[in-house]
């Protein structure tokens, strides 16, 4: 990787070179993981599902009592500025809001100023080779806390899951609560049953309400697929016609193997392919923020 990093970030109210950006050591995001985040995709100059990501950010902040520093319009303006200043046509914008800077103590004052950090990442999301080849995954126990619906920056369980992924030489982990799949380490889990139903876990405090999940369900319903939202087991994955996972950074990736066992005939299936294509078509119909 090149050591030259010319990216411009937005840190504590100012646009600054990412290489020079700093936050105080006493930031509660650093000391306690006391913060939340969002990841929004940029495809061909378009901010994908952006207002829904910003609404989820507002909800995450409200759930942990951090005041939302900006309106949706202001967040969008800063994101657009970041795209323009970085000539970011394809990739991601990362947003993190922590409770702010204070002497280290578990309890917090109500008048802290939240710390906002935003930076771009360059990636060709729409040309991920896994879309064509399919992904191999492993299952790991879901070690997370009881409020997985909040997009918390406390990600140690997912960091451990992703390290297991690396050690196994695979692409993603699906997390297990007993026999049931909760979700991917950084994605939402779906299967297509042999009866051609699209199955994904129902929203609750057990999983993150994925924005791509929501879009894919909408497309599936438009295409006349029956969508069922309920927990499903590892055995159901192994018996499924297809399995795939979704996230802002990957769109929809077919699963061809789980824990060394073939899934969906060991090749990407037609349902995930058509959902992926329809998703990209919807994205390209959005107005571009950067031409
Ligand atoms: N992660 N579930 C978990 C645990 C996630 O971390 C993510 C996304 C998703 C998918 O959500 P969405 O469709 O809104 O991206 C589900 C992001 C990409 C990340 O942490 O980098």
Q: Which atom, in ligand 1's list, is nearest to the CA of 183?
A: 2
* pLDDT of res. 4: 76
Q: Which atom, in ligand 1's list, is nearest to the CA of 249?
A: 18
Segment 123-149 mean pLDDT: 98
* pLDDT of res. 46: 98
Residues 120 and 136 reside in one and the same domain = no
Whether residue 219 contacts residue 190, with contact meaning beta carbons closer than 8 Å, is answered with no
Write down which residue in 86, 107, 124 finishes a domain. Answer: 124
The answer for residues whose C-beta is within 8 angstroms of residue 17's C-beta and 6 or more apart is: 6, 7, 8, 9
Split into its structural domains, the chain has a count of 2
Q: For the segment 139-178, what is each residue's pLDDT rounded down to a tens digit?
A: 999 999 999 999 999 999 999 999 999 999 999 999 999 9
Q: Residue 3 domain-assigned?
A: no
Residues 44 and 138 reside in one and the same domain = no
What residue numbers bound the domain in which 135 lies?
130-283
28, exposed or middle or buried, with CB in 10 Å at 0-12, 13-18, 19+? buried
Given a cut of 70, whether residue 2 has pLDDT beyond it is no
* pLDDT of res. 177: 98
11, exposed or middle or buried, with CB in 10 Å at 0-12, 13-18, 19+? buried
- Closest residue by Cα to atom 19, ligand 1, is 186
Q: In terms of pTM, does the model score above 0.85? A: yes
Torsion of CA 159, 95, 210, 180, to 10 degrees: 20
Please work out, in degrees rounded to the nearest 5, the angle formed at the alpha carbon of residue 268 by the alpha carbons of 48 and 129.
55
Residues 176 and 96 reside in one and the same domain = no
User: Which residues are near ligand 1 (CB < 6 Å)?
Assistant: 39, 183, 186-188, 208, 210-213, 246-249
Exactly one of 74, 151, 166, 234 is catalytic; name it. Answer: 151
Band of residue 1 on the pLDDT scale cut at 50, 70, 90:
very low
Write down which residue in 124, 141, 173 finishes a domain. Answer: 124
Q: What CATH code is carried by the domain that includes residue 167?
A: 3.20.10.10
Is-catalytic flag, 166? no
| Secondary structure letter of residue 248 according to DSSP | T
């Amino acid at each position: 990787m090149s050591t030259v990093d010319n990216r411009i970030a937005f840190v504590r109210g100012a646009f600054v070179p990412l290489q020079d950006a700093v936050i105080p050591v006493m930031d509660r995001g650093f000391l306690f993981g006391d913060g939340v985040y969002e990841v929004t995709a940029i495809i061909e100059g378009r901010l994908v599902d952006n207002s829904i990501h910003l609404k989820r950010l507002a909800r995450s902040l409200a759930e942990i009592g951090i005041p939302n520093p900006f309106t949706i319009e202001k967040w969008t303006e800063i994101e657009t500025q970041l795209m323009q200043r970085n000539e970011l046509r394809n990739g991601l914008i990362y947003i993190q809001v922590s409770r702010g800077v204070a002497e280290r103590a578990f309890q917090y004052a109500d008048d802290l100023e939240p710390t906002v950090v935003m930076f771009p990442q360059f990636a060709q999301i729409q040309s991920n080779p896994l879309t064509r080849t399919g992904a191999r995954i492993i299952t790991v126990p879901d070690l997370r806390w009881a409020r997985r619906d909040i997009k918390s920056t406390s990600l140690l369980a997912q960091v451990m899951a992703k390290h297991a992924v690396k050690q196994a030489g695979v692409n993603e982990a699906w997390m297990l609560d007993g026999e049931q799949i909760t979700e991917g380490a950084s994605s939402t889990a779906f299967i297509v049953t042999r009866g051609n139903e699209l199955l994904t876990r129902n929203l609750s405090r057990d999983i993150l309400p994925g924005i791509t999940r929501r879009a894919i369900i909408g497309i599936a319903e438009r295409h006349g697929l029956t969508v069922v939202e309920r927990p499903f087991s590892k055995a159901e994955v192994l018996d499924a016609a297809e399995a795939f996972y979704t996230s802002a950074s990957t769109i929809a990736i077919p699963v061809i193997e789980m824990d060394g066992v073939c899934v969906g005939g060991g090749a990407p299936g037609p349902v995930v392919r058509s959902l992926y294509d329809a998703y990209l078509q919807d994205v390209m119909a959005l107005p571009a923020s950067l031409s």
